[in-house]
Amino acid sequence: MLTIKNLLHQYRAGRTTVRRRLTELYRAASEAPAGIWISLISEAQLEQYLARLERLSPDSLPLYGIPFAVKDNIDLAGIPTTAACPAYAYTPERSARVVELLVEAGAVPLGKTNMDQFATGLVGGRSPYGVTPNRLAPGYVAGGSSSGSAAALAHGLCSFSLGTDTAGSGRIPAAFNELVGVKPSRGLLSTRGVVPACRTLDCVSIFALTLEDAEILLEATAEFDPEDAYSRAAPKVNPLPRRWKFGVPRDEELEFFGNCAYRDAFSRAVRRMEAAGGKRVTIDFAPFLAAARLLYEGPWVFERYAAVGGFIESHPGAALPVIETIITPGQTPHPSEVFRGMYRLQECKAKADAELAKVDLLLTPTAGTIYRIGEVEADPIRLNSNLGYYTNYMNLLDYAALAIPAARAGKLPFGVTLVGRAFDDGRLLEAARRFRLAEPYTVAVCGAHLAGMPLHSELEELGACFLGSAETAPRYRMYALEKGSVPKPALLRTEKDGTSFYVELYELSENAFARFAARIPPPLGLGMLELRDGSRVLGFIGETVAAECGRDISGFSDWRAYIRTCTKSEWKADSHAETNAV
Question: Which residues are identified as catalytic?
Answer: 71, 145, 169
428 vs 328: CA distance, rounded Å:
37
Cβ atoms of 446 and 456 within 8 Å: the answer is no
- Name every residue whose Cβ is closer than 8 Å to that of residue 566 and which is 6 or more positions away in sequence: 487
Per DSSP, the chain holds a count of helices (H) and strands (E) of 21, 19
Long-range contacts of range 11-18, CB-CB < 8 Å, 24 or more positions apart? Answer: 11/58, 11/64, 11/65, 12/58, 12/59, 18/50, 18/53, 18/54, 18/58, 18/64, 18/65
Cα–Cα nearest to 61, from 218, 216, 266: 216
288 vs 64: CA distance, rounded Å:
41
Cα–Cα nearest to 390, from 244, 504, 269: 269
Residue-by-residue DSSP string for 359-377: SSEEEEES-S---BHHHHH
> At residue 198, what is the residue type?
C
Alpha-helix runs per DSSP H in 67-146: 97-104
84 vs 92: CA distance, rounded Å:
16
Cβ atoms of 373 and 125 within 8 Å: the answer is yes
320 vs 123: CA distance, rounded Å:
14
Cβ atoms of 390 and 166 within 8 Å: the answer is no
What length is written for the chain? Answer: 582
Cβ atoms of 397 and 391 within 8 Å: the answer is no
277 vs 279: CA distance, rounded Å:
7
Radius of gyration of the chain (CA): 27
Angle at 172 between CA 170 and CA 177, to 5 degrees: 100
What are the Cα distances from residue 206, in Å, to 127, 186, 210?
21, 13, 11
The region, left, alpha or beta by phi > 0 then psi within -120 to 50, assigned to residue 522 is beta
476 vs 495: CA distance, rounded Å:
8
Alpha-helix runs per DSSP H in 366-422: 373-378, 380-387
